[in-house]
Structure 1
Amino acid sequence: MDTRRLQLLLALSRLGSMRAVAESHHLTTSTVSQQIAALAKETGAPLIEPEGRRVRLTPAGRRLADHAVTILAAVDAARLDLDPDAEPAGTLRVGGFATGIRVSLLPVLADLASSHPRVQVIISEYEPVEAFRLLVDDDLDLALVYDYNLAPASPDPALDTMALWSTPWGLGVRAGDATADGADLRRYADASWIVNSRNTADEDAVRTLAAMSGFTPHITHQIDSLDLVEDLILADYGVGLLPMNRPVRDGIAVLPIAEPTIIMTAYAATRRGRTNWSPLRLILDGLRPRKAALPQHDWPRQTTSSQLNRGAAPV
């Protein structure tokens, strides 16, 4: 559908006559009439009808004129986005896990608010499985996701990922059950295990670790919030994976796991071919990968539902 013809149809809906449209676009009345007729042929519907010595839009013509407003605005926005000299502007939809948003995204947005005020960002909290699906469906522009070295993610071929930072994880147990030489997982073969309810990578890592130690884990609880995981451990309801460098409350110990170690890595994920969009490019340039593991002060001590759009955080 030719956008120039849509412009003429929209002008006709506003100006009311072929002659007025021709004058405003520096065309002949005959040319305008021919272009509207060609548009009608493209759409397969009559767009104008006679009204005395003039013409008016048919119901189909009025509906198409309404669509033309949105279509032409989108085309103009696309031209601005592709103009390397244009100021970045637009609304960026970001989804991801809480710590990734807190650690990687929010510092970038703090600078962006003053340097590029025409870029708006909408933030939603999602687990990686959810964020990947929304990104593939084009319902997100950027996803902050994570995986474990024992349970690597397999993003859709339509997506690109960039590693941001990594941090080691260990086994969270009651402090009274801790040993000085780290976690011997065989001691917990009969324990109840706690895994994430919305991301299968956590459970996959637990099952892999257990298999390497010669047992099948008894997975009982599925919890998103790390604070709630701690509550269950303190109440002797089970054991579960926790970040090694995240502060924990009294009565909890996080034991290192060796051979293999567990490493969680955070990523920025985008749809392939979209990174040249200037608002997204600004964010990606600000999400500089860390060489070191996530430090302790970057982990939240507590996470509440009021801190982000949805629920409690998995990490």
Structure 2
Amino acid sequence: MIHSELDAAGVQGAQLRAAYQRCRALNAAHGKTFFLATRLLSPRQRPAVHALYGFARRADDVLDGFDDRTTAARADELQGLADALHSRLVLDRVEGDDPVLDAVVDTARNYGLDWQLFDDFLASMRMDLTVTDYPDRAALDRYMYGSAEVIGLQLLPVLGTVVPREEAAPHAAALGKAFQLTNFLRDIDEDLTRGRVYLPADELAAHGVDRDVLSWCQQNRRTDPRLRAALVEQHAMTRRIYEHAELGIAMLEPQSRPCIRAALTLYSEILDCIEEMDFEVFSRRATVSNRRRLQVAGRGLIDAWRARARHGEA
């Protein structure tokens, strides 16, 4: 299967093909929902998506690996990753052997992805080394632009559009933002264990929630009524962002729409789950069942086959 994808994408050379295979393996192992949705894209699109995921995963592993590396060591590692990508992508200078960078640079050149998108992403990753709280929505939005919205903007050329790309871009960025906000709501417990709170402090404070309240919730595995009220508000805001993002699906190439619709459906259903469990995010993890994933993927696969057949793609 992977070889047919690489052939369809025009990836040549044993080293480069192995690099893309490495990224695909990372996606399959660590991004199960995302990988499942990627299967709905045409074969020619999949390697690029795997490459972008592989690079994002590399940066994420620097930040969140549970080991004894110091903050300074992680900062040095992240800077080394940034320098290596800049050297390859901007200066056209290859130093060392790094299959993930081989693949992502090839993708960036094939789809005209600017270095600035990667630089903005890495800037937000650097914030995660030292920033643990966000005082207001503006501060959180600055972080999410680099950590989530640019991912949507990177994927947009791969997905293709039937309108000018700049018209679809705000919706693509909104989808990345909606996905990340969903993660923030689902993973409050896990993030707090890492010392981080990814909800605006002033919006929590409006409901009487601070770190002491969050710590009480974590210790007692219960959601305090004040936090529940705050989460209801955050949940509604995230739902509105999904609605804005969904408007962009019709702007994509028909072959790409089933994939993005499936991803949006599955991720937004995590929001449904959070609401159904009455925001008890410290005692349960909101997930979509494997059965539901396969149901959505199966429907999307049929739609994807039909779209590709209409446009002469396998």
> Would you say same fold, with TM above 0.5?
no
**How high is the TM-score relative to the length of structure 2?**
0.27
More helix, by proportion: 2
Instruction: Name the structure, 1 or 2, with higher relative contact order (CA <8 Å, separation 6+).
Output: 1
Q: Larger strand proportion, structure 1 or 2?
A: 1
